[in-house]
Structure 1
């Protein structure tokens, strides 16, 4: 067990931390062990990382020290694709058969019945508290804005964004169908997003006039100087679904200079190699980033109702995207709702399952960046690394190597915010009992 007394000082050293070289300053003097980990001393002063040095170099100043004995240290997690407004409704609105269609129906029915101001606020804040306890420092959440829900959920989300600004950076994204933007209500949502400094987003389904609908979205963004777009694309195993390619073509057509993040991209894994290559080249040329949601898509994709076993994992072509020069992250997506009946807003669980599902372990390389540094870039927040000058928002694990980190839940991790221990108490599910309708 660590003695946390040292961590309450304003200035101190963490000695013998085990850190991924890929998250350390450029030109670090060694490449680490066979998995890319290396022992590091980190100096924290007034809430910031102010110095890093190889563990073999002993500090020359008289500051208090805490020997981590090779415990792994990572920067705080960044969760770039969530649905906090849907979270924790499973007990009152479960998915009857695990399919995407049933998830959509159950969620819409639940929203029509229950999603008033207080219900949305309490469930979203529950998710934020879980995220904070696990070590997440920034979240992008999609907010259902169709069927008049924007009038309820967006103000709640804005209130939480402000209330949590010193604890978690919260980005808000509209979630509507593309067709909505052809209506006055959809245009009003775009206006709200612009006024709130939020992200314009939509879910995309194949359509004969898809390009024209995408042109409408890009024009709405241009007219309102919205610099970030976020799309749900190709969340299906249908190989003919190529919405990702159409988004890339639209971005190039409009010469869009902002950030575009596309999530899911499941059908890409079902397409012939030549079609995959065409799409990935366009995505790269358009500067689009991708985010994969392995846990939710493992749950939903290839779901069968005939008693047979699913044949594929539902994830996009993560390795191929990276090899094509495309930035890719992993994120949590839904949590305890009809789209995913499990989860705890824990990005370590997301990364652990991503390693297992997508085979990220031979070698680990810089895949660990996909849950901290890369999603931070994709959200327009800049780097999130272990470097001098950055806030000392760290997660310290009992695990010393990846083999230990990925083997246990690491619920005894230590979370530092601005160099000080953060509350690691997870909220009790009983707090939501009065929201559950039996």
Structure 2
């Protein structure tokens, strides 16, 4: 990967003539137009942002290094709020046979049963995190498949990985199971909620239009409230216009007076419904204070796929209409090289670029950069992330691109990532490192895992 700076930053520096989105800056520097790109000087000292001032307004305090960014864009490191690190990179081992949603469910289920040992899950998680770190992500929430016995494997692995990565990427996890699992009154919800609470996680599920949906949503709200947990649902990931579980989630949140944060992902079927139904649902979502995350690359890949037929719709939800109502909206990576999405690299610049194209987040670009920065940070309870402010860690992304047109036209262009005031090595892990993992050879897998861990120590 090419870098913006020819000389690495090592702790103390002045970055002059940087273009920064006003919406990511303190009001005193941002000015009155939230969609503007503001020319500023950024001073870094001892790993933190010492000052952000209008460019050229005063001599720099830090004198060790000075870099003229020539009006290149600067962003904070970004926030990926909906991923599946436990599924990542299994496509070469277990491809989706036909690219459909059901094909993905079947392939993942078979691979999980056959291969998801602690060593396998950890090795693939480590590989994914190394990619995300190199691309400039500093906060990730992953969903973890949590039907027994997988929860006893994946949650301890996640807790270990979270501890190992705490200085590089902050990690959160939400449990994932089909809500119809609660039809069996066998104590599962209590057990998984306790497991999640012990790991300081988030309670989550995939919702379907089943007879006992409202009852199960109420039970999840109670379980989360009793333990002080937030909620994160997968909802309506289908083109079936009769799928309205987002509506039911919003009603349940209001009915239960739920006080924690609720995030709902996908919500694809909403775009297929009649305007009156859409309005009723969005009014409830706004009233309930739900946050919505769209997964544009994955859903464009999966939705409306039929062999030999060109898809008729984009598979994404109604972000423009939601944002106009004041609903918090974000976009995220979702799956990475697994049967639900065969591509991706946990690069949020790619995600934002593709979201702009798929969802038409342009003309004007406005403040849509919030969808991968401040909004997901707020929805994940970490509002100090995804923005630039004095006194915060100097976690920055520097680009040669000078404006949105240049960045969105060439998202793979030169980029330098600074973490705590220091430039990082952006070398991406080689896919060959996963060969032993995907071949599921235990001894080779242990050796590959040890190498992966050593490579990021």
TM range (shorter): over 0.9
Alpha-carbon distance between aligned partners in 1 of 2:140 and 2:62, rounded to the nearest angstrom: 38
Matched, 1:82 2:83: yes
| Other structure's SS at 1:406 match | helix
Residue 9 of structure 2 aligns to a residue whose secondary structure is helix
Q: 1:334 aligns to what?
A: 335
Q: Taking structure 1 as reference, are residues 2 and 149 closer, same or farther at Cα in structure 2, changes over 3 Å only?
A: closer
**Cα distance, 1:65 vs structure 2:** 1.3
Tell me if structure 2 keeps the 8 A contact 1:6–1:12: no
Shift in Å, 1:223: 2.1
Partner of 2:142: 141
Q: What residue number does 2:165 align with?
A: 164
1: CA distance, partners of 2:164 / 2:439: 28
Q: Could you tell me which of 272, 277, 290 is aligned with 1:288? A: 290
Alpha-carbon deviation of 1:4? 5.0
Cross-structure match for 1:59: 59
Aligned partners of 1:115 and 1:433: how far apart in 2?
15
Counterpart of 1:127 in structure 2 is 128
* More deviation, 188-197/401-410: 401-410
Partner of 1:372: 373
8 Å CA contact 1:32–1:38 kept in 2: the answer is no
- Listed one character per residue, the Cα deviations across residues 276-320 of structure 1 (whole Å, up to 9, x for unaligned) are 111111111111100000000000000112x11000001100000
The match for 1:191 is 194
Change (3 A) 1:2 1:58: farther
Name the SS of the counterpart of 2:110 in structure 1: helix
TM-score (norm 2): 0.92
Q: How many residues align?
A: 434
Distance (whole Å) between structure 1 residues aligned to residue 328 and residue 26 of structure 2: 19
Partner SS for 1:142: strand
Moved more, 101-110 or 405-414: 405-414
The answer (yes or no) to whether the contact 1:397–1:410 under 8 Å persists in 2 is no
Partner in structure 2 of residue 428 of structure 1: 430
Structure 1 residues 2 and 101 mapped into 2: Cα distance closer, same or farther (>3 Å)? closer
**Deviation (angstroms), 1:186:** 3.5
Aligned residue among 198, 201, 205 for 1:202:
205
* Local SS of the residue matching 2:381: coil
Specify the alignment match of 1:25 in structure 2. 26
TM-score by length of 1: 0.96
Distance in structure 2 (CA, Å) of the matches to 1:333 and 1:111: 18
Distance 1:222 1:142 in 2: 20
User: Aligned with 1:130: secondary structure?
Assistant: helix
Q: Distance in 1 between matches of 2:377 and 2:234?
A: 19
Quote how far apart the aligned CAs of 1:221 are: 1.1
> CA shift at 1:423, angstroms?
2.1
1:391-435 deviation per Cα after TM superposition (whole angstroms, max 9, x unaligned): 111111121111110112335310011111122111100001012
Q: 1:191 to 1:369 in 2, by over 3 A?
A: same
The alpha-carbon deviation at position 86 of structure 1 amounts to 0.2
Residue of structure 1 equivalent to 2:323: 322
Which deviates the most, 382-391 or 89-98?
382-391
- Once the two structures are superposed, residues 236-267 of structure 1 have per-residue CA deviations (whole angstroms, 9 ceiling, x without a partner) of 11111110111111111111111110000001
RMSD: 1.6
Partner of 1:38: 38
Relative to structure 1, the CA distance from residue 136 to residue 6 in structure 2 (aligned partners, 3 Å threshold; closer, same or farther) is closer
Structure-2 change in CA distance of 1:172 and 1:400 (3 Å): same
Q: Is the 8 A contact 2:96 2:340 kept in 1?
A: yes
Asked if the contact 1:398/1:410 (under 8 Å) is kept, the reply is: no
Deviation string, structure 1 residues 147-196 (Cα, Å, up to 9, x no partner) = 41001111111100110011000001100111334432342111110111
Q: 1:62 to 1:192 in 2, by over 3 A?
A: closer
Alignment partner of 2:344: what SS? coil
Structure 2 spans left out of the alignment, 5+ residues: 441-457
Tell me, in whole angstroms, the C-alpha distance in 2 between the residues paired with 1:29 and 1:258.
31
6 and 174 in structure 1: CA distance in 2 versus 1, 3 angstrom threshold? closer
Indicate the residue corresponding to 1:398 in structure 2: 400
Q: 1:153 maps to what in 2?
A: 154
Partner residue of 2:443?
none
Instruction: Give the 3 Å change call, closer, same or farther, for CA 78–46 of structure 1 in structure 2.
Output: same
In the alignment, what sits opposite 1:264?
266
